[in-house]
Amino acid sequence: MSKYMWPFIFMMTLSLQNHVAVSASYNSSNQNLSANIQKLALYQFKLSFKINSSASELCEGLSSGPSHPKTMNWSMSSDCCTWDGVTCDHITGNVIGLDLSCSHLVGSIPPNSTIFNLSFLQIIVFDSNNLFGALPVEIFHLPNLEALSLQFNSHLIVSLPKNKWGSSSSLQVLALTLTTLSGGIPDSIGFLQSLTFLSLSQCNISGSIPRSFSNLTQLTYLNLASNHFSGPIPYFLGNLQNLKILYLDFNNFIGLIPRSIGNLTQLSLLSLNSNSLTDQIPDSLAGLQNLTFLSLSHNKLTGQFPSWVANFSELTFLDLSENSLTGPLPSNLTLPNLTFLDLSDNSLNGTIPSVFFKFPSLTNLYLDYNKFTGHVHEFDSSKPLLQGFSCSNNLLDGPIPHSFSELVNLTSLDFSSNKFSGVDIGIFSPLKHLESLDLSHNSLSVRSTSTPMLPPRIQSLLLASCKIKEFPHFVRTAKSLAYLDLSNNQINGEIPQWIGSMGMHSMNYLNISHNSLTGGLENLPWNKLKYLDLQSNILQGSLPASICNSSSLIILNLSHNNLSGLLPSCTRSLKYSLSVFDLRMNSMGGSLPSTLINFRKLRSLNLHGNKLEGTIPSSFSEFDYLEVFDLGNNQINDTFPQCLETLQNLQVLILKSNKFFGIITKVSKIEHPFPSLRIIDLSDNEFLGPLPAKYIQNFKGMMNPDVNKLGRSYMGNSGYSDTVIMVIKGVEIEFTKILTIFTTMDLSRNKFEGEIPEYIGNLESLRYLNLSHNNLTGHIPSLIGKLSMLESLDLSFNRLVGVIPQQLTSIYSLSRLDLSQNDLVGHIPEGAQFNTFENDSYAGNFGLCGRPLSKKCTSKKQQEKIGNDEDEDEDDDLFFSGFTWEAVAIGYGCGVLVGFVVGYVMFLAGKPKWYTRIFARELGLKVRRLEIRR
């Protein structure tokens, strides 16, 4: 049952019982509807809904009774007080309660609904149906309404009255969980001073909590979890001194935990987890002596573990995980009723006090991801209640305590990523309920002194980096094993035949990567596997045809092996199968089969570093889910695959180091090609013509200026991270994880020509731009200065002219700049990052001057004089040009001899100044000017 639901069900049941027991409690002089009229109103209300069994899918675990259509058997021939879900006052016969929760109802409540005629209604419960549309405000005008619950109707829109609630101010229970609260919480909520139960979780509320909440002094239950509240937690919540349960978790609260929370001395449950609360846990919380449940996890709390927790004798649940707590743990905790303790993901240090292994009622203890040192103490095996234990990712050493073998109720054990020494796997055999065991990444060497039996229910066994030298035979006895990790060991030889048959009927995750496996892939249980990772071995041979029958396979990683042969040509469509197909760094040959499209669900296709040839099939345009496509370092001989432009989810496209050729089309088949692309690498091919303007204009994935405000996340599936090899700042780097905010464009080492388009400045989230080693001409666009996140800009080895735009100095993130080997002129801009760049950034641009070059820039007057000299020399250059070509042309027209004579006369009649300068020291400058002009 949901943690948000059980208090409500209890209160509602108690409330209904109380109301049934009270007779003639309400004055009916205003509206004395007959029993028949009330029955007719109910029946007409029933007719406004359809019944659909899928409408109550949320009922499982949320309702005190089974899900069934309560209105199905309502009949006008029977007393409505006997109808399922209807409660009547047993003296007056008036309908006072209507509970249609989990009744498979589909529809909306109209403003003129007959239910609003039932003026004696005190309790309305419509939880877990499929009500939709706007809830009529008339429901709040029912004069005797005390409890209203519409929870778990996710398409229902509720607007609370903005003004005084009037007769509804007697409302005691209001539960709207998982509806949409339009307009937020109005200040008028403060008029409900009889309210004792308020649940508004998952209502899509933003903003702050109204100050009028301080008037709700009768509240005992308040749930505002899973919304978008922001700002500090209001101090005035400390006025609600009758509160017993307070949920504010999963919001955006910031700042300190108010000291006033310590005034809520009747609290038994306090949940503030998953916010952004900071600073230390206030000592004022020490006054909450009645707490049984305290969760402050997933915040930014600092300081030490609160020692006053030792006084919480009633505490059963304590979660302080994922904060920044430091220091040692106290050694004086007793906590006789504590069953759950989670201190993971902090920076706690020192040894783990022995008292933490002696809590008499403890069932779950999680200490992982801290900085604990020393040994793990023995548990009291006379009280074997412990079910889950994790101390992973610490600095613990020594042996694994033998007492764990006597804790017979254990279901999960995690000792990974520490410095534990050797262990006999057989000590875990007595644990009949153990389902998960992780010994990975320690200093231990897993051994077995006999032929041990693994626990009969073991489902997950992780033995990565355990110095195992051969396939452990004890795995064969695990009939329920579904998850096996033997990666980063020293296993050699072939994959044993029994791994595909004996004891592997439920196997769906197999990781034997980073070993020394040889042989082929024939012995694997292809028909069962969902995840297979064999990367970084010495496997040989071709891919078996049985891959085409792997309808359950989701992730296949065979990268960094010696596999050869052809890619599979699967003729059967596998619509619900493979998501990741990683074959990078092998020796696969042949062409790309068009039937690869039968892996319809492919999200990542990585074939980097093979020997693939031919073209990209047009059928690849049907990869609707494809996010990563890497064909780099192959021998593909094709024009640009325009068919891929329709892929709406494609984020990474790597075609580098192949034999692609030709002009990338100026037109597109669709209006917005490549809308999600963030990483594109076409380097080291034979593309020519202008840069792909149509595509650059539509790279929406590179145009988000607020990308740095997004959370830090990586591309990939559960258990698999996408990998890409790219040249960044002149260095080839393998990114084993790809940030979802990473953006780069590399079109270098091709034959692109023409100008760099101005609108490249619209790619505001671009971090790396490489257009080097092409034939680009024209000026550097000043709009590149808009790329405020750019870290590397490489335009070297082109034919760019003009000055370096001053706007580039506004890119404060720029750490690498290469403009070398162009025809740039003028003063090098100064300021910001430009003061850090060395000579290499500008080499080969003879017209540049200023820091960091040794060549000083001339004054303005000198520049004007040079300009006048250049105008005077223009005729010389024209004459030189005429001598070179016109004389030769005349020579061909009149004969070689006549042409030579005419040319010689032109030379004698020409300007001696030109002849002098041929041998004068200005020769180099004159020739350079002429080359630039041409």
Those residues with Cβ within 8 angstroms of residue 850's Cβ, 6 or more apart along the chain or in another chain: 827, 828, 830, 856, 857
Spell out the domain ranges in the chain.
Answer: 1-25+33-204, 861-933
Closest residue by Cα to residue 156 from 129, 175, 174, 183: 129
Q: How far is CA 496 from CA 14, 492, 619, in A?
A: 63, 11, 38
The DSSP bridge partners found for residue 409 are: none
Please give the model's pTM, rounded to 2 decimal places: 0.79
Q: How many CB atoms lie within 10 A of CB 18?
A: 11
**Residue 694 burial class via C-beta count within 10 angstroms: exposed 0-12, middle 13-18, buried 19 and up:** middle
Q: Around 880, how many Cα atoms within 13 Å sit in the side-chain half-sphere?
A: 19
Answer whether residue 826 shows pLDDT above 50.
Answer: yes
Rounded CA-CA distance 69/9 in Å is 19
Position 5 scores a pLDDT of 44
Span of 43-57, 400-414, 685-699 with lowest mean pLDDT = 43-57
Q: Around 383, how many Cα atoms within 13 Å sit in the side-chain half-sphere?
A: 12
Rounded CA-CA distance 275/229 in Å is 10
Query: Average pLDDT for residues 411-419, to the nearest whole number?
Result: 96
Are the C-beta atoms of residues 504 and 532 closer than 8 Å to each other?
A: no
Are the C-beta atoms of residues 223 and 199 closer than 8 Å to each other?
A: yes
101 or 24: which leads in pLDDT: 101
Rounded CA-CA distance 890/620 in Å is 59
Element (H, E) at 397: strand 395-398
Position 896 scores a pLDDT of 40
Structure tokens at 292: 């049984």
Answer whether residue 23 shows pLDDT above 50.
Answer: no
Distance from the first to the final alpha carbon of the chain: 81
Answer whether residue 125 shows pLDDT above 80.
Answer: yes
With both helix axes pointing from N to C terminus, report the angle between 912-919 and 923-933 in degrees, rounded to the nearest 10: 110
Structure tokens at 684: 């080291």
Query: pLDDT tens, 327-349?
Result: 999 988 889 999 999 999 999 99
Structure tokens at 506: 């439920």
Q: How many CB atoms lie within 10 A of CB 544?
A: 16
Those residues with Cβ within 8 angstroms of residue 96's Cβ, 6 or more apart along the chain or in another chain: 19, 20, 87, 88, 89, 120, 121, 122, 123, 144
Structure tokens at 31: 């509206």
Rounded CA-CA distance 854/361 in Å is 77
Are the C-beta atoms of residues 513 and 535 closer than 8 Å to each other?
A: yes
Query: pLDDT tens, 737-774?
Result: 888 889 999 999 999 999 999 989 999 999 999 999 99
Residue 933, helix vs strand vs coil: helix
> To the nearest 5 percent, what fractions of the chain are helix, strand and coil?
25, 20, 55
Answer whether residue 612 shows pLDDT above 70.
Answer: yes
Those residues with Cβ within 8 angstroms of residue 839's Cβ, 6 or more apart along the chain or in another chain: 852, 853
Span of 721-735, 825-839, 857-871 with lowest mean pLDDT = 857-871
Span of 21-25, 196-200, 408-412, 698-702 with lowest mean pLDDT = 21-25
One-letter amino acid at 505 equals H
Rounded CA-CA distance 597/582 in Å is 15
Share of the chain above pLDDT 90, in %: 65
DSSP 263-328: G-TT-SEEE--SSEEEEEPPGGGGG-TT-SEEE--SSEEESB--GGGGG-TT--EEE--SS--EEP
Query: What Rg value do the Cα atoms of the chain yield, rounded?
Result: 38
Q: How many CB atoms lie within 10 A of CB 76?
A: 10
Are the C-beta atoms of residues 710 and 741 closer than 8 Å to each other?
A: yes
Quickly state the pLDDT bin for 8 (edges 50, 70, 90). very low
Q: How many CB atoms lie within 10 A of CB 667?
A: 6
Query: pLDDT tens, 454-475?
Result: 888 999 999 999 998 888 888 8
Query: Average pLDDT for residues 529-540, to the nearest whole number?
Result: 94
Query: pLDDT tens, 579-603?
Result: 999 999 999 999 999 999 988 899 9
Are the C-beta atoms of residues 258 and 231 closer than 8 Å to each other?
A: no
Element (H, E) at 720: strand 720-721
Share of the chain above pLDDT 70, in %: 85
Architecture of domain 1-25+33-204: Alpha-Beta Horseshoe (3.80)
Answer whether residue 320 shows pLDDT above 90.
Answer: yes
Query: pLDDT tens, 633-669?
Result: 999 999 999 999 999 999 999 999 999 999 998 888 7
Rounded CA-CA distance 609/864 in Å is 56
Answer whether residue 14 shows pLDDT above 50.
Answer: no
Rounded CA-CA distance 805/814 in Å is 14
Rounded CA-CA distance 801/191 in Å is 73
Position 60 scores a pLDDT of 62
The DSSP bridge partners found for residue 733 are: 726
Query: pLDDT tens, 88-116?
Result: 998 999 999 999 999 999 999 999 999 99
Answer whether residue 880 shows pLDDT above 60.
Answer: no
Structure tokens at 375: 């040994």
Angle at 10 between CA 9 and CA 14, to 5 degrees: 115
Averaged pLDDT of the chain: 86
Position 716 scores a pLDDT of 82
Q: How many helices (H) and strands (E) does the chain have?
A: 8, 60
Query: Average pLDDT for residues 919-925, to the nearest whole number?
Result: 38
Closest residue by Cα to residue 425 from 416, 437, 435, 441: 437
Structure tokens at 18: 């109380």
Rounded CA-CA distance 799/793 in Å is 16
Answer whether residue 904 shows pLDDT above 70.
Answer: no
Query: pLDDT tens, 698-733?
Result: 899 999 888 877 777 888 877 788 888 888 888 888
Are the C-beta atoms of residues 328 and 352 closer than 8 Å to each other?
A: no
Residue 907 phi, psi (nearest 5): -65, -45
Looking only at Cα atoms, what is the longest distance across the chain? 134
Structure tokens at 842: 């500008």
128-147 core/surface letters (b: 16 or more CB in 10 A; e: else)? bbbbeeebbeebbebbbbbb
Rounded CA-CA distance 301/294 in Å is 14
Q: How many CB atoms lie within 10 A of CB 909?
A: 7
Position 434 scores a pLDDT of 95
E-strand ranges in 69-203 read 86-88, 95-99, 105-107, 123-125, 130-134, 147-149, 155-158, 173-175, 180-181, 197-199
Query: Average pLDDT for residues 434-450, to the nearest whole number?
Result: 84
